[in-house]
Amino acid sequence: MSSDRVAVATGGCQCGAVRFALYVTPEKAHACHCRMCQRAVGGAFALLAGAKKSDFAWTAGEPAFFRSSNLAQRGFCRDCGTPLTFAYDIPEARMYFTIGSFDDPASIPIEMHYGVESKLPWVEFCEDVAAEATGAGSPAAAEFFAKLASNQS
């Protein structure tokens, strides 16, 4: 990490063992309603915002990772269990952080709903925000997700 970089957003886990800094404004904030995200966060959906992998740093500790599928892994604090990250294994993929783990989550409004094929029927919020089923964004996305094999039981 270069000492001249200034953190734009910071966050971490419940116990403080893992902390991170983003050197850009969090990007592509979204709610993901897919079953894998529901299970990963133990909730009705995951709220995520990201940055290029070169635009963040771990500032205290580092998370443990669980390979939730053949295409991605999720980071969490090994001490307190806080879900922290999600990232696909392709080089251009962003590292996404759980919005609730940021120090100022209110400053990161969502701009999209993904995985709406699994959205629970009683979940209603940000209904004016665009929504998309998993893989429906483009033929390339459909091809990518067709290769998905979950490692969750």
The pLDDT tens digits for 56-89 are: 999 999 999 999 988 899 999 999 999 999 999 9
Contacts 24+ apart (CB under 8 A), 78-81: 78/17, 79/13, 79/15, 79/17, 80/13, 80/14, 80/15, 80/17, 81/14
pTM to 2 decimal places? 0.91
For residues 122-143, average pLDDT: 89
pLDDT at 109: 97
Q: Report angle CA 136, 139, 143 to the nearest 5 degrees.
A: 90
pLDDT at 3: 64
pLDDT at 14: 98
The pLDDT tens digits for 4-39 are: 899 999 999 999 999 999 999 999 999 999 999 999
Q: Is-contact 108 96, C-beta < 8 A?
A: no
Where do the domains of the chain lie, and which CATH numbers do they carry? 9-146 (2.170.150.70)
pLDDT at 73: 95
For residues 88-97, average pLDDT: 92
For residues 116-132, average pLDDT: 96
Q: How many CB atoms sit inside 10 A of residue 3's CB?
A: 4
Q: How distant is the alpha carbon of residue 80 from its chain centre?
A: 18
pLDDT at 141: 79
d(CA 139, CA 34): 19
For residues 124-142, average pLDDT: 89
